[in-house]
């Protein structure tokens, strides 16, 4: 029997995925609760054939300048790849794969959870109930309806389109901004805005669904917040880097933005402490793709890519420059 390839594995996955790794590879598991530091990852990758990482691992130019020559492929357990310097990887001839498609529905579901949680004040309601205050004679905890409202989607890729599909079922009118206009079949009646400012002006609800990049960094800052209708509701399942936290916190405090639902944060797992005191911030710890089914599919797709590259076959979801 031929030797199994050596795989540096930066985290653990679902039991099915872990079992496949143990069966088909010679794994070097991260034994710690904490993510590997870059130097620990480099050490684990020394002599390995492949490396499996996630967005907590930063694979920058330094990483690729120090990475062992033995590594033939890198897979990230994510659709997002802003944590990887692709140009540096490709300059060294190392293909990088990601996991598009399999997490689209789970992430769009969390988009709805955030829209509903923020608009129906689910965090305040939970707090009231748990502190023994069922209701107050001075007034009920009133939120804002989705029915008939405009949902603006900034970044209309796979997840944006899946969110649009769900939002339509809730009676929302979908508008979007994207680098290019979708086909009518993909649009499903959503209204295209060529520039983001025009989208913001109509968005009673706004969902951030663009990848993090230099172009999208701090898209949600005061200058753009001021274009939204007063009392707009904002959600983010994409990347924290799309938001200027201080500006959003200021707008949530003043009520300029009525509520926010956030699953991702700049600098996560640390987050701006200003969010923690806000009753109108509905916060989740990056659980967009976190279902058993989705996480298993992501792991399997990551391993399919690694195996394909190592066996010289076409890999299903490699990233291009
Ligand atoms: C993470 C994500 O990969 O797919 C992405 O881009 O951010 C998530 O699915 C997941 O939280 C594991 O780190």
Same domain, 117 and 210: yes
Residue 137 or residue 302, greater confidence:
302
The structural domain count of the chain equals 2
CA of 75 to the centre of ligand 1 (A): 12
Q: Is 261 a member of any domain?
A: yes
Percent of the chain's residues with pLDDT above 70: 99
Q: Is 321 a member of any domain?
A: no
Q: What is the mean pLDDT of the chain?
A: 97
Rounded to a whole number of angstroms, the CA Rg of the chain reads 21
> Does the beta carbon of 79 lie inside 6 Å of ligand 1?
yes
> Does the beta carbon of 286 lie inside 6 Å of ligand 1?
yes
Residue 21 has pLDDT above 80, yes or no: yes
Span 204-248, pLDDT tens digits: 999 999 999 999 999 999 999 999 999 999 999 999 999 999 999
Span 69-107, pLDDT tens digits: 999 999 999 999 999 999 999 999 999 999 999 999 999
Same domain, 108 and 172: yes
Q: What is the Cα 161 distance to its own chain's centre?
A: 15
Same domain, 130 and 79: no
Residue 188 has pLDDT above 60, yes or no: yes
Q: For residue 237, which of 103, 57, 85 has the smallest C-alpha distance?
A: 103
> Catalytic: which of 98, 121, 193, 239?
239
Average pLDDT over residues 192-211: 98
8 Å CB contact between 202 and 174: no
Same domain, 139 and 81: no
ipTM associated with this complex = 0.98
Same domain, 115 and 224: yes
Same domain, 115 and 257: yes
Tokens 């890999």 belong to which residue? 315
Residue 144 has pLDDT above 70, yes or no: yes
Domain span including residue 298: 6-102+291-310
> Does the beta carbon of 107 lie inside 6 Å of ligand 1?
no
In this prediction, residue 187 carries a pLDDT of 97
Q: Is 196 a member of any domain?
A: yes
Same domain, 137 and 277: yes
The Cα 108–Cα 112 span in angstroms is 6
Same domain, 81 and 219: no
Q: What torsion do the CA atoms of 106, 112, 116, 117 make, to the nearest 10 degrees?
A: 40
Residue nearest atom 3 of ligand 1, based on CA coordinates? 78
Same domain, 117 and 220: yes
Look up the CATH number of the domain holding residue 135: 3.40.50.720
Same domain, 84 and 121: no
């Amino acid at each position: 029997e031929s030797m199994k390839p050596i795989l540096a594995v930066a985290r653990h996955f679902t039991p099915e995925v872990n079992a496949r790794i143990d069966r088909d590879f010679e794994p070097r598991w991260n034994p710690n609760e904490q993510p590997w530091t870059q130097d620990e990852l480099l050490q684990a990758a020394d002599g390995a054939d492949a490396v499996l990482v996630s967005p907590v691992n930063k694979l920058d130019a330094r990483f690729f300048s120090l990475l062992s020559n033995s590594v033939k492929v890198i897979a990230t357990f994510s659709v997002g790849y802003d944590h990887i310097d692709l140009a540096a990887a490709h300059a060294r001839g190392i293909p990088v794969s990601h996991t598009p498609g399999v997490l689209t529905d789970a992430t769009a579901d969390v988009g709805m959870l955030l829209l509903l949680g923020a608009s129906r004040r689910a965090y305040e309601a939970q707090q009231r109930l748990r502190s023994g205050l069922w209701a107050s004679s001075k007034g009920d905890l009133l939120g804002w309806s989705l029915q008939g409202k405009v949902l603006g989607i900034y970044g209309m890729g796979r997840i944006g389109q899946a969110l649009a599909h769900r939002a339509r079922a809730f009676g929302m009118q979908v508008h979007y901004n994207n680098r290019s206009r979708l086909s009518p079949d993909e649009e499903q009646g959503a209204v295209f805005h060529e520039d983001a400012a025009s989208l913001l002006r109509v968005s009673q609800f706004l969902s951030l669904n663009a990848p993090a990049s230099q172009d999208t960094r701090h898209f949600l800052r005061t200058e753009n917040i001021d274009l939204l209708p007063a009392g707009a509701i904002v959600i983010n399942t994409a990347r924290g880097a799309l938001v200027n936290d201080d500006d959003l916190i200021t707008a949530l405090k003043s009520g300029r933005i009525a509520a926010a639902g956030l699953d991702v944060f700049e600098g996560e797992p640390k987050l701006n402490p200003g969010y923690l005191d806000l009753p109108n911030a509905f916060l989740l710890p990056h659980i967009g793709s976190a279902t058993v089914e989705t996480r298993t599919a992501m792991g399997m797709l990551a391993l399919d890519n690694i195996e394909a590259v190592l066996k010289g076959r076409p890999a299903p979801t490699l990233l291009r420059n």
